Amino acid sequence: MTRDRGNGWGAGWRMALIAAFLPAAALAQGADELASMIRQSLDGIEYRLDLRPQQAAQDLQEQQRRLELLEKEAPDHPDLAALQEKFHTLQDGLAASLAHAASDVTTGAGAAQIPTAPEGFTRGLEEVGALQKQAESAFLIGNTAEAAEYLDQAERQMVALEQRYGGEIPKGHATLLVTQEKIAALKDQLAEAKSAD
C-alpha cells in the first residue's frame, strides 16, 4: 500500500516536473527567436545609420522595447549583454549621424545629393513595412499561419511596387533594401519554425 502510494507520488512528481519544464523550454525558444530578430534588426540599423538617421532612430526605439522584453522574459539569455552593448554603440553612432544630418540641413549640403523616390512608391513601401511588422508580431506570439499570410501580402505588394516604379527607384534605396532584408529574415525564421514542427 505504501509502495503504491510512493509510486503514485513519484509519477505525479515526474508529471509536475515535466509540466514545469515545458513552458520554460517554450520561453527559451521564444527568447532565442526574439534575440535573433533583435540581432538582425540591429545589423540593418547599423547599415542605414548614415543614410537615413531619422528612420534608424525610429527603428532603434523599437529594438529598445524588444531588448527590454528580452531582459524581462530571459534576463540570463547568453546574447543579452552583447545585444545591449551593440544597441548602445548604435545609439552613440545615431547621435553623431543626426548631428551631421542637422548640420547638412543648415548649410544646405547633402540635400541635392540624395535622390528621392516617387511619393506613391514611398507610401506603398510604408504599407509593405506595416504588413511586415504585423507578420513579425504574429510570429512572435507563435501564430505562424497568420505571420505567413501577412508576409505573403507584403511580398506581393513589394513585387507590384518594384514593377510599377522600377526605373524611378533610386539605386541603393535604403528603406527598400532594409524592408527586403526584414522580409527575407522573417521568411527564413518561418521556414525554420515550420521545419521544427
**Where in the chain are the domains?**
13-106, 115-197
pLDDT: is 145 or 11 the higher one? 145
Q: pLDDT band at 4, cuts 50/70/90? A: very low
20: pLDDT strictly greater than 70: no
pLDDT digits (tens, 9 = 90+) for 139-184: 888 898 999 999 999 999 988 988 888 888 877 777 787 788 888 8
Check residue 153 and give its pLDDT: 94
Q: Which residues of 67-105 are buried (b: 16+ CB within 10 A; e: fewer)?
A: beebeeebeebebbeebeebbeebeebbeebeeeeeeee
Q: What is the overall mean pLDDT for the chain?
A: 76
What tens digit of pLDDT does each residue of 41-89 get? 888 888 777 777 777 778 888 888 888 888 888 889 899 899 989 888 8
Predicted local confidence at residue 104, as pLDDT: 54
Q: Picking from 16-30, 67-81, 113-127, 135-149, which range would have the lowest pLDDT averaged per residue?
A: 16-30
The answer, as to whether pTM is greater than 0.85, is no
**Percent of the chain whose pLDDT exceeds 90:** 10
